Amino acid sequence: MMAAAPILRVEDLDVRFRGPAGVTRAVNGVSFDLWPGETLAIVGESGCGKSVTAMSVLRLIPSPPGEIAGGRILLADRDLRGLPDAEIRQVRGNEISMIFQEPMTALNPVLTIGYQIGEALMRHEGLDGAAARARAVELLDFVRIPEPARRARQYPHQLSGGMRQRAMIAMALACKPKVLIADEPTTALDVTIQAQILNLIVDLQKRLGTAVILITHDLGVVAETADRVLVMYAGSKVEEADVAELFARPLHPYTRGLLASVPRLALGEDADTEAETRLAEIQGMVPPLSDLPPGCAFAPRCPLADATCQTIAPALREIRPRHAVACHHARDVGP
């Protein structure tokens, strides 16, 4: 799985939004590497900057009011940040594609599913209409939509939510992208459909070798699909580790709080012993991004915070192999 070089490298990304309330620092100095074939999950709560980070990779941030104010986005050796619009359009849907939470808003309601999938193939691979339509049917079959030929002639509203998400995935994979960005791909779906779609993404990724950036707030989804996890809080990366390491040894107080506050489903014999305790809470709420405290953004909610935390922003340190954390108080807790 480890290739010689990452397929995508984001360095020191800064994204800002200008509004009546001043400048909102949505993403502050976020860096990460994405290796071929791996799934990197970016997790965090609303407003932590996970979606903005993902959208910035494809330069989909509306500008104004948004602006990529600093950093580099390297796809192989090309910096996407400085690419002319015509060239970034060649990257979108071809080398990097994206699927969204709500397929209904991402699909065009007046065009057939087959046409919308074929469009990327006509644009990026120069197929003619008939060939593109034939490929679209194959792709729908590939994402396990029953009766693909009939579905290709239908419009988005004629498909169920799960099927629309499958069609979106077919569209995203049409040009065999190197990177697939999935922004909360299953959040709007029922749990049985969510399981089907996650399985589909994992399976297709194995067969095509696509690297996936999975944006989600659901730690269950992370635990079941990710290889590596990046935790964001108030626009900054606060922790990054391999998935097993992160769940076994969360080092940032925010990550620990997040893991503790999720109610766990206890099945089988565990259902008997399931503790009658209170859910752990993280006190308070996320500070407004236009008015971040000096020092560590998590300090106002952190049980460990001291004077240092309130004045000096902690740098990201790798305190265990492949495990980085931005906290003054984080220590290697051993095996």
Partner 1 sequence: MSAAAPVLAVDGLTKHFPVRRGVFSLVSGHVHAVDGVSFAIGQGETLGLVGESGCGKSTVGRSVLRLVEPTAGSIRLDGVDISHADRAAMRTHRRQMQIIFQDPVSSLNPRMTAGDIVGELLEVHGIARGEAKRARVSELFERVGLRATQIDNYPHEFSGGQRQRLGIARALSLSPKLIVCDEPVSALDVSIQAQVVNLLKDLQREFGLSYLFIAHDLAVVQYISHRVAVMYLGRIVETAPRRALFRMPRHPYTESLLAAVPVADPTQRRERRIIQGDVPSPIDRPTGCHFHTRCPYAEARCRVEAPALREVAPDHHVACHLR
Residues that bind partner 1 (CB under 8 A): 45-46, 160-163, 190-196, 198-199, 217-224, 226, 243-244, 247-248, 257-259, 261-269, 271-272, 274, 278-282, 285
Please state, as a whole number, how many other Cβ atoms lie within 10 Å of the Cβ of residue 164. Answer: 22
Instruction: Find the Cα–Cα–Cα–Cα dihedral 31, 36, 37, 43, rounded to 10°.
Output: 10
Q: Which is nearer to partner 1, 46 or 130 (CB)?
A: 46
For residue 9, the cross-strand partners are 33, 74
Which CB, 191 or 307, lies closer to partner 1?
A: 191
Nearest distance in Å: CB 167, partner 1: 13
Kindly give the pairing relationship between strand 66-75 and strand 78-79. antiparallel
116 or 225, CB closer to partner 1?
Answer: 225
Q: How far is the CB of 62 from partner 1 (least distance, A)?
A: 22
- The percent of the chain in helix, strand and coil, each rounded to the nearest 5, is 35, 25, 40
Nearer to partner 1, 126 or 321 (CB): 321
Torsion sign over Cα 63, 66, 71, 72 = negative
What minimum distance in Å lies between the beta carbon of 45 and partner 1?
4
DSSP string, 105-137: HHS-TTS-HHHHHHHHHHHHH---HHHHHHHHH
CB 201 within 8 A of CB 221: no
Q: How far is the CB of 301 from partner 1 (least distance, A)?
A: 8
CB of 82 to partner 1, least distance (A): 35
Cα maximum dimension of the chain = 67
Task: Report d(CA 181, CA 97) in Å as an integer.
Answer: 6
Nearer to partner 1, 195 or 316 (CB): 195
Shortest Å distance, C-beta 112 to partner 1: 20
Size of the chain in residues: 335
How many Å separate Cα 319 from the centre of its chain? 25
Q: Between 11 and 218, whose beta carbon lies closer to partner 1?
A: 218
Considering the complex, state which of residue 150 and residue 264 has its C-beta at the smaller distance from partner 1.
264
Minimum Å gap between C-beta 168 and partner 1 is 16
